Structure 1
């Protein structure tokens, strides 16, 4: 084989310079199998080493954890950062977003998140939201389940189609809870209590099946009657609101008038009791005075009679404007007193 000054084969395809087509003038090309084989081996080795190096390195994001499978079986869980694994398919890494809050929507789907978020409802969402209440009415319930993954191994291997399992569990728990309340509670003020009960039941169910998730929040977005009977429900709700308003107005008037009437009644009773005590005391005083006079009269009638006359005149005379004093027995002349003056 001919070489240049560097010792590298000058022509691995025609090292002798002979004409493979029979020309014999050295202008043809002749393939050297040994040199071709070495070159292919070197190229294959370099590609293999590059593939091994590339497949042995992996990176876990800050909000993820990596589950390493060795020959398809769980081996270990790796934390965020760079890691190495056995290449060529021996180790396989599944990345699980453990630090990210997951969300499932029931009864609606978020179409576009923007300043004005848009939603859509299809047949699947409508089938999720229509439920039978405890008083045999149909309610259209829309809710959201928010959760995070705390055990990547359990999340990946405790159940097949884990998202469908979580969705079915949430829907079953919600339907059971809605079936225990009446539609009025759902449409008015019973949503918070219902959401708390469903969250507790769903957390218990996911822990029982060891799904590796924690339910963070359950929010009831909206509760409406079905579209077919929505006008009738609105009329009923309006009538109930008017009923409540009339009751509240009547109670307000009751609370205003009844205390006033009770106050006036207490005032009358107090006045009557005061008047009664006054009259009784006056009567007792009159009796005591009469008894005292009667005893004095029994002891000295003349003095007592004179004293009574004088006391009576003392009370009467100040109210008399004109006074006539007649002295003596008279001279037989009829005296005329102008009493009508």
Structure 2
């Protein structure tokens, strides 16, 4: 390769020596000379301090108009393809045309005219947002931990209806209901929700008593604050929907907290004693009512039994009287036998004497205990 290159160099030097020197260009023709150099496919290359020309190489490249047209076409295709966008689940696509609202699209792939004709915003409409009033959580924790929050007394201090001061710390959960109103009607939505929630809670607390706010009225306060806050946001056309207002901590100022704790403890003791008394009453009264009902039922049963027995005896006596009038001797003998039958049936011990024995001796029958046998008669025990 070195020998070929040296041989080629020698051949070119001989050609340059035999060729006449070109005339020097005038200054007036300098522009024409530059144009001629630009049209050459390859410019002169200086190598080793000498000027080398390659006149025998072929010309390369395309016409300048085709290159510009092809580049413009590629840029146009890329610009048109940039209008393809995807709306993720839980988002809503809001399309603006020249800065004016045009349409809203749901999740999935869509196409919009590229910028600057159309612009697409994709707010998350299913995400639950959270705003804190009266305190700030440490980090991004979504749970209220009393020892790890920073209280904001300027927001938490509120005046109750009975002119007492109470510190209220609560949170508001909300989401985007109308993405168009959310994007174009409000600025800094979190600050707006916090201010509106504070105003609503102050009004509700101002209409409540401190005892209700601290003890058993929290649920009603949360419901009233939720409705009032939603009405405020609707009047502002914010496009937000309140999910819940949750009271995290409601307590009096630190200076009087101990006294309020004593009052609350006494109130709890009162409620506890009342509940115990109610439980005792609820246990005693049904038992007394049951015993009274049992006695009443027994009395009614005894009454019915006596009445029925009396009616039966009266009916029996009437029947016997009618039969006695028909056959007095027979009825009297029958009654005598029935009476003896009843007496003998119910007697535990019986002593039988013949007809002549009672005439000779005086029969002595003990009133209690077993009867000893006698020679005067026979004793039969059953």
TM-score by length of 2: 0.58
Alpha-carbon distance change, 69 to 237 in structure 1, aligned in 2, over 3 angstroms = farther
Tell me how far apart the structure 2 counterparts of residues 270 and 135 of structure 1 sit (CA, whole Å).
57
**Partner SS state of residue 352, structure 2:** coil
Is 1:175 the equivalent of 2:168? no
Report what 1:231 is aligned to: 258
Report what 1:108 is aligned to: 135
Report what 1:266 is aligned to: 293
Which ranges in structure 1 are unaligned for 5 or more consecutive residues? 8-56, 87-92
Tell me how far apart the structure 2 counterparts of residues 257 and 135 of structure 1 sit (CA, whole Å).
40
Two-structure CA RMSD over aligned residues (Å): 4.4
Which ranges in structure 2 are unaligned for 5 or more consecutive residues? 1-26, 45-81, 105-109, 372-382
Alpha-carbon distance change, 6 to 230 in structure 1, aligned in 2, over 3 angstroms = same
Is 1:145 the equivalent of 2:172? yes
Alpha-carbon distance change, 162 to 270 in structure 1, aligned in 2, over 3 angstroms = closer
Report what 2:361 is aligned to: 335
Q: How does 1:243-282 map to 2 (within 5 A)?
A: 243-282=270-309
Paired residues of 1:65 and 1:98 also in contact (CA < 8 A) = no
The correspondence for 1:128, drawn from 147, 155, 162, is 155
Paired residues of 2:133 and 2:171 also in contact (CA < 8 A) = yes
TM-score by length of 1: 0.63
Give a deviation string over 1:139-176, Cα, whole Å, max 9, x none: 22111223455667756775788765544322221111
Paired residues of 2:94 and 2:180 also in contact (CA < 8 A) = no
Alpha-carbon distance change, 286 to 67 in structure 1, aligned in 2, over 3 angstroms = closer
Q: CA deviation at 1:107?
A: 0.9
Q: CA deviation at 1:218?
A: 2.6
The correspondence for 1:205, drawn from 229, 232, 237, is 232
Give a deviation string over 1:280-313, Cα, whole Å, max 9, x none: 1111122222223333333333333333222222
The correspondence for 1:303, drawn from 322, 330, 333, is 330
| Greater Rg over alpha carbons, structure | 2
Tell me how far apart the structure 2 counterparts of residues 78 and 289 of structure 1 sit (CA, whole Å).
104
Give a deviation string over 1:184-205, Cα, whole Å, max 9, x none: 3333343333223322222221
Paired residues of 1:159 and 1:211 also in contact (CA < 8 A) = yes
Tell me how far apart the structure 2 counterparts of residues 242 and 68 of structure 1 sit (CA, whole Å).
64
The correspondence for 1:324, drawn from 335, 353, 361, is 353
Q: CA deviation at 1:108?
A: 0.8
